Structure 1
Amino acid sequence: MGRSRSSVTHGAALMLLFITCRECTGFTVDPPEDLVIFDPGHLGHLEIRWSPPARLINKTECPKHYQLEYFSTYKGGWTAIRTPGRSYSAQFDLMKDIRVKVFTLLSGPCTNGTMVKSKSYTELVQKPLSTGVEGTRVKDFICVFHKMENMECKWGRSAKMPATSQQNLYFWHKQLEHAEECPEYIISGGVRIGCNFTGKVLPDFTDINFCINGSSAEGALKPTFISLQIQNHVKPGATEKLYLRTAPDTQLELHWECPVGSVPEHCLEWEVEHSQEGPDGKIASQQILTQQKSLTLPLIHDDERNCFRVRSQLHKYCVDKSYWSEWSRPNCYPEMKEVTPEPEWDMVRVYVYIAVAITAMLVLSLCLGTMIKVRSSRPEKKQDPLHTTLLVRNSVLRKAEA
């Protein structure tokens, strides 16, 4: 208890000494001047610049530092940094207010070796641009980094978007000198709904800034600004090989292989869905999280059907967030036996055969009728007298011989 009071007393004494020394210098520090925010066209990565207070320009013997505070709309709070420089670059959401404060910090012989901070600060609040037709910003902007190989971003059109409008996507990151346009647009119904970055290398763990703007017959569209890091938007591929077998000790052993793609195996975690169907047809399901590529479960009832499927995502030790992959095809025990269906008559063919037979019979009957008509219409031939005489003679001779 005595030590605690002693520590408090000692700390209070040091604080009092600091205040006294600060007051005994009789030196006050002015805040910085000429605070400006410069936009180099990097879609939200802005440069903040300022000048030292006029009274300190010629005081080279005293080190000058600055404390910059800015409100980060992405983090939802203030960020403070101290720097000896007179400029700083930071990421901002250009669709919201930009708020910046700068203090002066002075130390050295001018302040008897103590750090003195200006009581006031220079502040700048910059409003977002108000240009563009109201209600024309895109909605539901989503980017998916498929298998860590292909980045795809899509967006939706607002209800107030003019039908004739066309949208453009631009992006920038620190490895680019200036913003670039989408390398390959995704088009549906004649309008652009997304961008495919196939073959375009985007760096991970780096802010990538996007801007979707456009034009229409009614005027320019409201621009939309987004900033993200691609490693937080990975969607692994679906697991293709899932194996299931029974072990001698009445257990089910499940194991699987990693999905195809460039996702590091050590970054994957798995969710296994286990469904049990009882004799009564009722199904009970459970989800099991694991960082292993195998799972062993007891086989309690032989008359139950057990089915499994697997999906994966990147765990929190590698990225801040991730998308789940699609489910694998289910694997069940016991397996469903495929029943070969009995052959059935192809009724279409039967109908065709019947139609052909009927047509053939009609054609044949028509042909026979025509032949009969032709024969009946021919005139009867008259018997040749010589021919008749020969026939009678031959008949008489045959009788005589007999």
Structure 2
Amino acid sequence: MDIKWICAVTIILAWFCRASSAHQTSVEPPRNLQIIDPGLLGHLYIEWQPPPFLLTLDQCTIKYKLKYRSTGDADWKVVFTKKLKYGDGFDLSKRTEAKVQTLLEGRCTNESEVKSDWTHTTFQVPSQGELESQIRDFHCVYYNWEHLTCTWQLGQLAPAGARYELYYWYEGLDHTVQCSDYIQTHGRNTGCNLQNLRQAEYIDFNVCVNGSSESTQLRPSYFTFRLQNLVKPSPPEKLSVSISAYEEVHMEWSPPAGGTPPHCLDYEVQLTEHDGDADAPWTSVSTQVETTFTFSQANRSRVSCVRVRGKTNMFCASKGFWSEWTRKCFYVSRKDEKQLFILIAVALSFLTVIIIFIFAAQCKKSVLGKFHAPVGC
């Protein structure tokens, strides 16, 4: 038998055996998948246990593919991990679903990846109270990176004696914390002020506004956000304006004092030119990480106004609120007015010279008349 043919048959048989072995290798899905609510206002843990046979399996890499989402989300969040537990924030007003599978790869699978079937589970907080009893128009602003203010309106079906309370939690706290500085309207809580939250920036901030009433149950509301995306900085400071001989408007300002990092701000600069018209359009220009700007006036008006405001930029947050405007108005005379003023000044000067000459001539004539007058008897 030809040696080359024998070698070829041996290689083919070896490949077939390896492929057959890989095909026969299978792996079971994880066991006891569950979603656990530790009472942290939406921060849930997804836990599972490995398949039993993996405890005796060696020479292979074992990891898990986890997918999870809330009801209504179009896409799944996907995580690859070797751990048996994973935590994330969820909206507790919605149903949460998760699924996990085992991934096996290594010498035990001839270096090919083997996947198990999926294991599924769901979780939902039991509903309580009517939907119209929960708060409305919940809104939070993180002012100047220093204090958070959240406000809301009472539920449409909230009874007269209903009382709403705000609780919050973020990673680093041992337990949920209740608001200690409520905003009240007609004696009822409609907002909350929170201080000293720098350690909560750039992580999930979980909030629950729950209600209590003697007559009926009230439905709680859950929110998860990040503080840096709610920043409203203070207005820029020390705005000054100067005008060059070419009527260029030069503006300078300083970043606001307080907690806002200066490198986190973009600015919007606007100028309007009008003759007392409050509805005149504004020319707007955005500028990044600067505190100076120069406008070239397209029209020469008597009165002009400039204003500037700041907002957290893309390097520090994905969104935010504009500050209030810092505004300053000033007077710029028209060129035709300047020319008229110069013409009047020249005319007055020329007229003054003529009057002086006439007056001098009259004086000279008067003096000469007296000198040549006849002497009386």
Same fold? TM cut 0.5: yes
Q: Which of 215, 220, 223 is residue 217 of structure 2 equivalent to?
A: 220
User: Separation in 2 of the partners of 1:301 and 1:63?
Assistant: 73
Q: Which of 255, 258, 265 is residue 258 of structure 1 equivalent to?
A: 255
User: What does 1:283-294 align with in structure 2 at a 5 Å threshold?
Assistant: 283-291=280-288, 292-294=290-292
Match of 2:232 in 1: 235
* Secondary structure in 2 matching 1:197: strand
C-alpha change, 1:200 and 1:87, in structure 2 (3 Å) is: closer
Match of 2:348 in 1: none
Is the 1:94–1:225 contact (alpha carbons within 8 Å) kept by the matching residues of 2?
Answer: yes
- Residue 65 of structure 1 and its aligned partner are, at CA, apart by 1.4
Match of 2:45 in 1: 47
Letter in 2 for 1:121: W
User: Is 1:211 aligned to residue 208 of structure 2?
Assistant: yes
Q: Which of 88, 91, 94 is residue 93 of structure 1 equivalent to?
A: 91
User: Is 1:296 aligned to residue 294 of structure 2?
Assistant: yes
User: What does 1:302-321 align with in structure 2 at a 5 Å threshold?
Assistant: 302-321=300-319
Is the 2:235–2:309 contact (alpha carbons within 8 Å) kept by the matching residues of 1?
Answer: yes
Is the 2:273–2:300 contact (alpha carbons within 8 Å) kept by the matching residues of 1?
Answer: no
Name structure 1 gaps, 5 residues minimum. 1-16, 336-402
Q: Which of 145, 149, 169 is residue 148 of structure 1 equivalent to?
A: 145
Q: Which of 31, 34, 37 is residue 36 of structure 1 equivalent to?
A: 34
Is the 1:32–1:103 contact (alpha carbons within 8 Å) kept by the matching residues of 2?
Answer: yes
Letter in 1 for 2:212: S
Is the 1:73–1:93 contact (alpha carbons within 8 Å) kept by the matching residues of 2?
Answer: no
User: What does 1:38-187 align with in structure 2 at a 5 Å threshold?
Assistant: 38-71=36-69, 77-118=75-116, 120-187=117-184
Q: Single out whichever of 105-114 and 40-49 deviates more from structure 2.
A: 105-114
Match of 1:351 in 2: none
The normalised TM-score by structure 2 is: 0.77
1:17-47 CA-partner distances (Å, limit 9, x unpaired): 99x8376441222211111111111111111
- Residue 94 of structure 1 and its aligned partner are, at CA, apart by 0.8
1:131-156 CA-partner distances (Å, limit 9, x unpaired): 22331121221111111111111112
C-alpha change, 1:42 and 1:76, in structure 2 (3 Å) is: farther
1:298-339 CA-partner distances (Å, limit 9, x unpaired): 24544442111111101112211111001113333349xxxx
Q: How many residue pairs get matched?
A: 317
Is the 2:171–2:200 contact (alpha carbons within 8 Å) kept by the matching residues of 1?
Answer: no
C-alpha change, 1:333 and 1:315, in structure 2 (3 Å) is: farther
Is the 1:74–1:93 contact (alpha carbons within 8 Å) kept by the matching residues of 2?
Answer: no
The normalised TM-score by structure 1 is: 0.73
* Secondary structure in 1 matching 2:100: strand
Is the 1:35–1:123 contact (alpha carbons within 8 Å) kept by the matching residues of 2?
Answer: yes
Is the 2:147–2:196 contact (alpha carbons within 8 Å) kept by the matching residues of 1?
Answer: yes
1:264-285 CA-partner distances (Å, limit 9, x unpaired): 1121111122111148887232
User: Separation in 2 of the partners of 1:282 and 1:218?
Assistant: 53
- Residue 48 of structure 1 and its aligned partner are, at CA, apart by 0.9
* Secondary structure in 2 matching 1:284: coil
Is the 2:273–2:299 contact (alpha carbons within 8 Å) kept by the matching residues of 1?
Answer: no
Match of 1:375 in 2: none
C-alpha change, 1:74 and 1:149, in structure 2 (3 Å) is: farther
Match of 2:188 in 1: 191
Letter in 2 for 1:102: V
User: Separation in 2 of the partners of 1:227 and 1:55?
Assistant: 39
Is the 1:307–1:331 contact (alpha carbons within 8 Å) kept by the matching residues of 2?
Answer: yes
User: Separation in 1 of the partners of 2:309 and 2:198?
Assistant: 26
